[in-house]
Copies of this chain bind each other. A is one copy, B any other.
Amino acid sequence: MSELARIVEALLFLSPDPVAPSDLAQAAGCDDDELAAALAELDREYAPGARGLQLKRVAGGVALATDPLAEEAARRLLAKPRTPPLTPAQAETLAIVAYLQPVSRPEITRIRGVAAESATATLEERGFIEEAGRSQFGAILYRTTDLFLRLFGLDSIKALPSVVEWDPTPDEEAELRDRLLRAGEQRAADPSAA
């Protein structure tokens, strides 16, 4: 395979969308004829039935796409909820949303004492939590999803275990939300916990 064909192959691999041949030529630093030759080389390489990928000409240009042969396996691998073990930050964030919902991100941050941005984004991307309107101050509110209930084997949010079992100070009367916020602020104020 020529060096130019190898470069074009890498470019098509990286592009999420079809690429116009002129853009390919410009990026690879070649002229249109050289690019056409490289694409012809790739066409031979990716002849139907030869590989798991195909070289396709579509409206926007050229693209690599998977052979339909792999469709079923792809669905088994990818079209299912992603459920890797939760990181501690994700578990904390998810617990706060589950018990206090709807809850805003600033509140989550105050309770945790550290920013919850990436954990919130991951939980949202995996479909465990979703937006639920805005607070009176304009912050996005979060709640858990039906997928969350299924993945935790819960019939409804009411079936969440009572916190009593893990509560370090079960005698306190105040509402869970107030107590969490107060504990978070105390942790943030204590330099030894920083």
Contacts and interface: CB of A to CB of B under 8 A. Distances in A.
Q: How many identical subunits does the complex contain? A: 2
Interface in A21-76: 23-24, 26-29, 50-53, 64, 66-67, 69-70, 73-74, 76
A11 B73 contact: yes
A130 B140 CA distance: 24
- In this complex, the member of A53, A73, A193 whose beta carbon has the largest number of chain B beta carbons within 10 angstroms is A73
B14 A74 contact: yes
A77 B130 CA distance: 26
Given A13-B53, A19-B77, A87-B130, 7 more contacts: A1-B51, A6-B70, A7-B73, A10-B74, A11-B73, A24-B77, A29-B73
